Structures are given as structure tokens and as C-alpha cells.
Amino acid sequence: SQKIEQNSEALNIQEGKTATLTCNYTNYSPAYLQWYRQDPGRGPVFLLLIRENEKEKRKERLKVTFDTTLKQSLFHITASQPADSATYLCALDTDKLIFGTGTRLQVFP
């Protein structure tokens, strides 16, 4: 069956550290993969999109990698801040977006 799993339901880190979130998938071959941020009671907000022929994408403190052989994407937030606390969702882009299970990130001061 098709699955998209994000490695941990919750991740707690100290301010200033790098947060690394993992997205693994099976039985899909997406040409694109996207990451979103969702705050409680709100709709997701787009962060980054990476294509299958791109190994890495960066935007300010954010970095995404995409390994189609491992069927895995890593999402990094460097110099994390309490304001980064939210749920982060990966989504496989197959003309429609199929979302992963999500990881709740909590950054402590």
C-alpha cells in the first residue's frame, strides 16, 4: 500500500539548534515534493518545493533534500527559534497533494 511517514510525531529542540525532520514514502514516484507549515486551527502554508532532479533546495534558514532512491526527504531548520514551533507536513505532488503524517516541532527558549 502507499504510505507517507514522517519519522516522529513530535520533536522538541532547544532554540538555536538545527531541527531535522524526515519524510519517507513507499509505492510512490513523485516528480515533486513539498513541505508545509501548519499552525493550530489554520490551513497549511507553503514553505518549499523540490523537484526529483534537485538534490537540495534552500530558503533562508530552511533546507530540503530529496533522495528518490531512498524515497526520502529531509527538512532542516537551522538556528531554530520558538516562533518555528508548529506542525510540519511533507506532501508528495502527483498532480494532487498527498500529505504525510506530520511532525509537531516545539522549540524551547
Cβ atoms of 23 and 4 closer than 8 Å:
yes
Per CB under 8 A, the list member of 77, 80, 102, 107 interacting with another protein is 102
Instruction: Write down the least CB distance from residue 16 to another protein, Å.
Output: 27
Residues 35-94 that bind another protein (CB under 8 A): 41-46, 49, 89, 91, 93
CA nearest to 36, candidates 95, 83, 103: 103
Per CB under 8 A, the list member of 65, 72, 97, 106 interacting with another protein is 97
Q: Which of 86, 102 has the CB closer to another protein? A: 102
Burial class (CB in 10 A: 0-12, 13-18, 19+), 72: middle
Tell me which stretch binds another protein (CB under 8 A): 19-27, 62-70, 76-84, 99-107: 99-107
Q: Which of 43, 109 has the CB closer to another protein? A: 43
Across the chain, where does the E strand assignment appear?
Answer: 3-6, 10-14, 19-26, 32-38, 45-51, 56-59, 62-67, 72-77, 86-93, 97-99, 103-108
Binding site for another protein (CB under 8 A): 31-32, 34, 41-46, 49, 89, 91, 93, 95-102
